[in-house]
């Protein structure tokens, strides 16, 4: 087992990464302050891991909420189901919520914990690759709104994160690839060495080699934790973690939540960010080719949805959280591992890029 | 004009109290960082004060949301109307929300500000006595749940509070009395001199003497600001501000939000807290009589709703935010101005007290 620490003063917490951690109750019990524990999970994960999780919690006053599975359920209405359960059980401010599942479960549970009685503790047990490398780390919680993804939420740090890599064995291939998108992202943002390692080891990751996966998860969490520690509430450098996400969120919102997986949308978004960077002369043809290559090798889509047009993209991108005063801001790149935030790009090029990519998608 | 400061480090802010402040744009404009301003108000307040508020905001990109009026609308659904408006206008993280109205508007708007894009700025313009002396100060924001009042929310401090005492001229008598309940509360909690002043000046307050009102508001805000500065997130002394509220929230929840005004429920709750304190020998008969007297002089109800029984009271009180591990905690008194938090009272006495008061209410 490896343990990383996210360094946030009084809100610091450990991330444990390893195999079989779901059988080790000593990892979780020190982080539960009272007697009341609510496990929040979904219909897919409950039959697989709920029983083992409950076995960790012997002796506590434990309740469970099982939510429907999918990004389309990351809403205020689903959030309210968690509040219903907490209030029906008369749970107090000293209760602890446990998020057992992927990114959607983590985001909803974290936001429920931020909001219930104005704030209670929570613990993340991420069971997808995407949640293990991204959404369970950093304290961003929230739900979607029909007009924009993750538009309602809170910064609320967990007490600890327990990433058991064995849970990835039950992940379907599409979910595995979605997680790889966020892993590739860390290479592109500021870790060129990791990007090279990924170029060499993508086949091992796709065949679920445990050592390769453990290394990729650890390095991703390390890279993310460093950025989060420097800028917890995203007033600066943390925005870099949004590489590919402005395009990606537009795809998720525009096609209807739940049709594209978050990681798939981010994969396509990173490609468009790379291409836009190339068109401005900031990103070489070789770097562009390497980016396309690794996204395709991870079995992620390059092409945007044919159901969308460029105006729809731009409309949704105009409500992104990074934007200031109505100007779209994007994470672009001046090389692999050299990302930066910019609202100083050519809007005409952006529109043409969207149109070209959508047209190409339609041809195929 | 008087200005008080709530001392919370980087989250400190001023409370301006005086007449005609709604015509002074220099109070509000320094606290707006970007160009985007959303005024949130309700159907009662909009015809009275919206135009004057908009006049303060000349030159900004201003939008308005008008919500229905009443505690029964302090819900996640109404909150979502604010998010709808913000997203339809493409408002960014640099927007500022302005709460123009009473406690319900302040609580919803503050929580919307805490949650929109994980946190934006907001300003309180309280227009009821209750909001001017209580809910607009201290950063408690949130909405109700069918199973418990204020159970969903966040601590989120405003940029400033502007309390124009002239707005109280349009308040109906019932709303005025509801505000007086919270004012009496500060005397009972820890300010015996203020309690005496209130005993002497209640007629002036009821006849809306401007000087008496201004003094009572200023002293209440001062007393509250001191407690909030000592314990922003209610891990200790701040719970004292809940005097009368455990009983009061049970009344509001049990009779259906919007039937009893918050201050009315708190008035009756303070009476029951005083009586329970007396029954334990902590509060003398004279102190009990003085408490009953001042609540009645403020034209507030002493008797609980006849539609509720004691089990219903106890059931709702069991989900109060102050409770730890299933035990009801109450704010009780060892004298006027000497309140304390306690879970060490006689539960049988509590149940008998509820039954006696409900029976008396039914007789009349």
C-alpha span between B62 and B337 (Å, rounded): 44
Task: Tell if the CB–CB gap between B83 and A145 is shorter than 8 Å.
Answer: yes
Measured between beta carbons, the chain B residues lying within 8 angstroms of A87 are 145, 147-148, 151, 319
**Helix A245-255 vs helix A262-279: crossing angle, to nearest 10:** 130
Collapsed DSSP state (helix, strand, coil) of residue A348: helix
Confidence (pTM): 0.94
Residues 6+ apart with CB under 8 A from A114: A141, A153, A154, A155, A156, B154
Give just the sign of the alpha carbon dihedral B95, B96, B101, B105: positive
User: Rounded distance, CA B162 to CA A76, Å?
Assistant: 31
What is the C-alpha to C-alpha distance for residues B75 and A344, in angstroms, rounded to an integer? 41
Q: What is the pLDDT of residue B325?
A: 66
Of the residues A34, A95, A117, A151, the best mutation for testing chain B's interface (the one with the most B CB atoms within 10 Å of its CB) is A117
Inter-CA distances, A316 with A181, A323, A353, B38, Å: 21, 12, 16, 20
Inter-chain touch A151–B318, beta carbons under 8 Å: no
Binned at pLDDT 50, 70 and 90, residue A163 comes out as very high
For A310-325, b/e burial (b = at least 16 CB within 10 A) is bebbeebbbbbbbbee
* The predicted structure's pLDDT at residue B323: 78
Least Cα separation, residue B137 to chain A (angstroms): 16
Q: Is A140 a catalytic residue?
A: yes
pLDDT of residue A325: 66
Q: Of B36, B71, B232, B234, which one is the catalytic site residue?
A: B234
The b/e string for A53-92 (b: 16+ C-beta within 10 A; e otherwise) is bbebbeebebbbbbbebbbebbbbebbbbbbebbbebbbb
- Indicate if A224 belongs to the active site: yes
- For residue B175, what is the enclosing H or E element? helix B173-190
Mutate to test the interface with A, among B37, B92, B321 (most CBs of A within 10 A): B92
The 10s digit of each residue's pLDDT in A196-232 is 999 999 999 999 999 999 999 999 999 999 999 999 9
CB B38 within 8 A of CB B95: yes
Q: Given pLDDT bands bounded at 50, 70 and 90, which one contains residue A136?
A: confident
Cα–Cα distance between A91 and B318 in angstroms, integer? 9
Rounded to 5°, angle at Cα A225 from A223 and A231: 110
Residue of A nearest to B324 (CA): A92
The C-alpha atoms of residue A126 and residue A116 are separated, in whole angstroms, by: 21
| Closest residue in chain B to residue A318, using alpha carbons only | B90
CA distance A233 to chain B (A): 9
Report CB contact under 8 Å: B117, A92: no
Average pLDDT over residues A310-338: 90
Best mutation target among B82, B118, B147 (most A Cβ atoms within 10 Å) is B118
Q: Enter the ipTM.
A: 0.93
List the end-to-end C-alpha distance of chain A, in Å, as a whole number: 45
Is the Cβ pair B319, A87 closer than 8 Å? yes
CA distance A52 to B335: 53
d(CA B211, CA A161): 56
Catalytic (active site) residue A238: yes
pLDDT of residue B364: 82
Q: CB contact, 8 Å: B55 with chain A?
A: no
Identify the CA nearest to B232 among candidates A111, A160, A142, A119: A119
Domains contained in chain A, CATH given = 2-170 (3.40.50.1970), 173-363 (1.20.1090.10)
Q: Which of B322, B213, B303, B198 is nearest to B251 (CA)?
A: B303
Q: How far is B66 from chain A (nearest CA, A)?
A: 20
Nearest-CA distance B64 → chain A (Å): 18
User: What is the pLDDT tens value at each position of chain B, 364 positions in all?
Assistant: 999 999 999 999 999 999 999 999 999 999 999 999 999 999 999 999 999 999 999 999 999 999 999 999 999 999 999 999 999 999 999 999 999 999 999 999 999 999 999 999 999 999 999 999 998 889 999 999 999 899 999 999 999 999 999 999 999 999 999 999 999 999 999 999 999 999 999 999 999 999 999 999 999 999 999 999 999 998 899 999 999 999 999 999 999 999 999 999 999 999 999 999 999 999 999 999 999 999 999 999 999 999 999 999 999 998 888 777 678 999 999 999 999 999 999 999 999 999 999 999 999 8
Q: A324 — contact with chain B (CB < 8 Å)?
A: yes
The residue in chain B having the minimum alpha-carbon distance to the alpha carbon of residue A78 is: B76
Catalytic residue status for A199: no
What is the overall mean pLDDT for chain A?
95
Specify the length of chain B in residues.
364
What is the rounded CA–CA span in Å between residue A279 and residue A344? 13
B90, B118, B325, B364: the catalytic one is B118
Q: What is the mean pLDDT of residues A174-182?
A: 97
A87 with B147: Cβ contact below 8 A: yes
What is residue B320's predicted lDDT score, i.e. its pLDDT?
82
Nearest-Cα residue of chain B relative to residue A33: B325
- Out of A74, A149, A249, A329, which one is annotated catalytic? A249
Grouping H, G, I as helix, E, B as strand and the rest as coil, residue B36 is strand
- What is the pLDDT, as a whole number, of residue A235? 87
Task: Give the list of residues 6+ apart from residue A49 with CB closer than 8 angstroms, or none.
Answer: A22, A41, A100, A125, A127, A167
Nearest to B152 among A116, A152, A325 (CB): A116
Given pLDDT bands bounded at 50, 70 and 90, which one contains residue A289? Answer: very high
- Is the minimum CB–CB distance between B63 and chain A shorter than 8 Å? no
Tokens, residue B70: 């009443």
- Please give the pLDDT value at position B14: 96
| pLDDT of res. A176 | 97
Q: For chain B, positions 64-123, list CB contacts with chain A under 8 A.
A: 76, 79-80, 83-84, 87-88, 90, 92-94, 114-119
User: Contacts by B227-234 with C-beta closer than 8 Å and gap 24+?
Assistant: B227/B189, B227/B190, B228/B6, B228/B8, B228/B137, B228/B138, B228/B139, B229/B6, B229/B7, B229/B8, B232/B8, B232/B11, B232/B139, B232/B155, B233/A118, B233/A119, B233/B155, B234/A118
* Cβ-nearest to A116 among B90, B151, B326: B151
B347 is catalytic: no
| From B118, B148, B151, residue closest to A142, measured CB to CB | B118
């Amino acid at each position: 087992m490896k343990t990383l620490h996210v360094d946030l003063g009084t809100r610091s917490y450990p991330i444990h990464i390893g195999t079989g951690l779901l059988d080790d109750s000593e990892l979780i019990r020190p982080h539960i302050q009272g007697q009341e524990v609510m496990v929040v999970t979904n219909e897919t994960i409950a039959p697989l891991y709920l029983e083992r999780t409950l076995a960790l919690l012997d002796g506590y006053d434990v309740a469970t909420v099982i939510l429907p599975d999918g990004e389309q359920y990351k809403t205020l209405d689903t959030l309210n189901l968690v509040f219903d359960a907490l209030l029906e059980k008369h749970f107090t401010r000293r209760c602890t919520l446990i998020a057992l599942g992927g990114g959607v479960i983590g985001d909803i549970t974290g936001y429920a914990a931020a909001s219930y009685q104005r704030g209670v503790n929570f613990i993340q047990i991420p069971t997808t690759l995407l949640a293990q490398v991204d959404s369970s780390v950093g304290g961003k919680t929230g739900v979607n709104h029909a007009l924009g993804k993750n538009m309602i939420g809170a910064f609320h740090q967990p007490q600890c994160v327990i990433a058991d890599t064995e849970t990835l064995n039950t992940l379907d291939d599409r979910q595995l690839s979605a997680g790889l998108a966020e892993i590739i992202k860390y290479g592109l943002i500021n870790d060129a060495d990791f990007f090279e390692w990924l170029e060499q080891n993508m086949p091992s990751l796709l065949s679920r080699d445990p050592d390769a996966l453990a290394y990729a998860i650890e390095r991703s969490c390390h890279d993310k934790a460093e950025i989060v520690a420097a800028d917890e509430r995203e007033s600066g450098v943390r925005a870099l973690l949004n590489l590919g996400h402005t395009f990606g969120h537009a795809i998720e919102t525009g096609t209807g939540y739940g049709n594209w997986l978050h990681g798939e949308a981010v994969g396509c978004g990173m490609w468009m960010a790379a291409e836009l960077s190339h068109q401005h002369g900031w990103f070489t043809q070789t770097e562009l080719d390497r980016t396309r290559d690794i996204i395709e090798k991870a079995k992620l889509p390059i092409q945007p949805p044919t159901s969308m047009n460029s105006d729809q993209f731009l409309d949704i991108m105009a409500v992104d959280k990074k934007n200031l005063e109505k100007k779209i801001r994007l994470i672009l790149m001046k090389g692999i591992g050299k990302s930066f935030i910019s609202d100083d790009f050519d809007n005409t090029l952006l529109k043409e890029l969207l149109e070209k990519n959508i047209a190409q998608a339609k041809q195929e």
